[in-house]
Amino acid sequence: MIGCANMPENLSPIYKRDLIEADFLRNVMANDPNSKGNYEVIPGSNITTVKIFRPSKPHDEAALRESMKKIKSTLRSAFGHEPNMLRFEFKEVTIEE
C-alpha cells in the first residue's frame, strides 16, 4: 500500500481523555507568565509530555515535582480517573511524576 508504514505493536491509541488532559495542561502552562511560548504539550496514551525549551533544567526540581502532583490531583478530582503520568522534558533533565 502506498503511504502506509508499519506501526509498532506497543503503540497505544490516544483517547479523548488523553487529549482533554493535554488541553488542561496547556491551559495551566499558558497561565504561567514564565512559560508562554516556551513549551510544547504532547498528549499520549499513558504519558502527557511537556517539552520545556528554556531553561535547560528546572530552577527548583522539588517545587516542580510538587506542582506536577497538584496538577495530577486536580485532574483526578475533575475527571474521576487516574490521570496519565506527567513528563517534563528539559534539555538536561527529564522529570516524571
Structural domains present in the chain: 16-96 (3.30.70)
Per-residue pLDDT of the chain (97 residues; tens, 9 = 90+): 454 544 444 568 999 999 999 999 999 999 988 888 899 999 999 999 999 999 999 999 999 999 999 999 999 999 899 999 999 999 999 999 9
The 8-class DSSP code of residue 45 comes to S
Task: Using the structure block, give the residue that is written with the C-alpha cell 512559560.
Answer: 35
- pTM assigned to the model: 0.84
The edge-to-edge listing of strands for the beta sheet with 94-96 is 39-42, 47-52, 85-89, 94-96
